[in-house]
């Protein structure tokens, strides 16, 4: 794939950016009605629309947050090898979309831990694939299938409830009870919503003798991820050392 010259980029910006700015102003003022269900799209869409004026400048340089929010969904299988305390680890990242799930079984042989990633803020959003299935319900169903599979009876499963920053904002504005009628508590109190989310996933487990390790994370908060990484590292190392001793 080729690269665009500065002059071409300048021409594109001068031609299209004013229209994008006007559309964004209309959106903010309520004069522009979106023709698609916004619940299908990631929160990154709103972020970039809100920052359109800054991004459209010819002098624009992506910020750290811009880069993190511009990440694309994993497709296929991506492997990462690293060493912790002289012990080699292989992390396998698989795509979560429905079309990608048939590839998961290629990665299950010999695994010791599963890091199950969920977007904690998507309780009011639907899947792109069918535009009707609640994203959080879909995640719970997948989790139920994995956590109760006999193949993983000796595998430590760690639940990551990601996008905490967006959950904080959403809890203030969106009543979770409208989407999950069994919710009990204050729908605008973060702690109540967090407890409920963990309970939802915990109820999917048939065997509750083993603890459910879980962490609320914010992927774009490097300090938070660093803290969680070390906590998870210790959990995985402890689990593997126990297996070795047995």
Determine if residue 205 is labeled as part of a ligand binding site.
no
pLDDT level of residue 121 (50, 70, 90 thresholds): very high
- Cβ atoms of 135 and 143 closer than 8 Å: no
pLDDT of residue 174: 94
Determine if residue 192 is labeled as part of a ligand binding site.
no
44-86 pLDDT per residue, tens: 777 787 888 888 787 888 888 888 777 666 666 777 787 877 7
Determine if residue 23 is labeled as part of a ligand binding site.
no
Determine if residue 1 is labeled as part of a ligand binding site.
no
Determine if residue 234 is labeled as part of a ligand binding site.
no
Q: Where are the domains of the chain?
A: 6-69, 108-245
Determine if residue 90 is labeled as part of a ligand binding site.
no
Could you write out the three-class secondary structure of 113-130?
EEEEEEECCCCCCECCCC
Over residues 18-44, mean pLDDT:
55
Determine if residue 69 is labeled as part of a ligand binding site.
yes
Determine if residue 94 is labeled as part of a ligand binding site.
yes
Determine if residue 232 is labeled as part of a ligand binding site.
no
Over residues 108-120, mean pLDDT:
83
pLDDT of residue 186: 97
Determine if residue 110 is labeled as part of a ligand binding site.
no
Better pLDDT: 237 or 22: 237
pLDDT of residue 35: 45
The CATH number given to 108-245 is 3.40.50.300
130-153 pLDDT per residue, tens: 788 999 999 999 999 889 988 888
Determine if residue 93 is labeled as part of a ligand binding site.
yes
Task: List, in order, residues 6 or more apart from 144 with CB less than 8 Å away.
Answer: 204, 205
């Amino acid at each position: 794939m080729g690269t665009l010259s500065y002059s071409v980029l300048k021409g594109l910006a001068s031609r299209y950016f004013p229209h994008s700015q006007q559309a964004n102003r209309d959106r903010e003022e309520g004069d522009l009605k979106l023709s698609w269900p916004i619940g299908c799209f990631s929160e990154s869409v709103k972020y970039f629309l809100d920052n359109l004026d800054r991004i459209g400048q010819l002098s624009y340089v992506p910020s750290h947050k811009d880069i993190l929010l511009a990440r694309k969904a994993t497709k296929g299988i991506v492997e990462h090898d690293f060493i912790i305390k002289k012990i080699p680890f292989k992390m396998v990242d698989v795509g979560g979309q429905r079309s990608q799930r048939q590839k998961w079984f290629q990665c299950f042989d010999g695994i010791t831990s599963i890091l199950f990633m969920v977007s904690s803020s998507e309780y009011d959003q639907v899947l792109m694939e069918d535009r009707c299935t609640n994203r959080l319900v879909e995640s719970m169903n997948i989790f139920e299938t994995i956590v109760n599979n006999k193949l993983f009876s000796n595998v430590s499963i760690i639940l990551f409830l990601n996008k905490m920053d967006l959950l904080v904002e959403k809890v203030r504005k969106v009543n979770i009870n409208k989407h999950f009628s069994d919710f009990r508590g204050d729908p605008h109190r973060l702690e109540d919503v967090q407890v409920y989310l963990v309970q939802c996933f915990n109820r999917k487990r048939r065997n509750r003798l083993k603890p459910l390790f879980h962490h609320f994370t914010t992927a774009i908060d490097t300090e938070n991820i660093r803290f969680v990484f070390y906590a998870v590292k210790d959990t995985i190392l402890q689990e593997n050392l126990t297996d070795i001793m047995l």
